[in-house]
Structure 1
């Protein structure tokens, strides 16, 4: 049973996350030959204040 655990910065819509889950499931199923019903996807949204890039919180980077 494939388990995909992905972390993304907060700010995506519910629809985008659902589409991500569907696309990851399809890719894993096709690539690994695993039935879709056996693929698990866990999406963790991280607040931008808790995500650092080059020593700076993402929330402090313009355009992020």
Structure 2
């Protein structure tokens, strides 16, 4: 059972997230042979106030 965790900053639409998990699932199936129904994906969306690059919060950009 492949388990994939994806961390990303909030702001994508439900349609974008849906397309992303479809394509990630297809890549896992293609490269591991695991059935799609056994691929689990966890999306962790972070607020821009909770993520920083180079000491600058993404919310400050």
Q: TM-score range by the shorter chain?
A: over 0.9
Question: Unpaired segments of 5 or more residues in structure 2?
Answer: none
TM-score normalized with structure 2 length: 0.96
Question: Unpaired segments of 5 or more residues in structure 1?
Answer: none
- The number of equivalent residue pairs is 61
Separation (CA, whole Å) in 1 of partners of 2:44 and 2:19: 15
Match of 1:59 in 2: 59
Please give the root-mean-square deviation of Cα atoms over the aligned residues, in Å.
Answer: 0.5
SS of 2:45 mapped into structure 1: strand
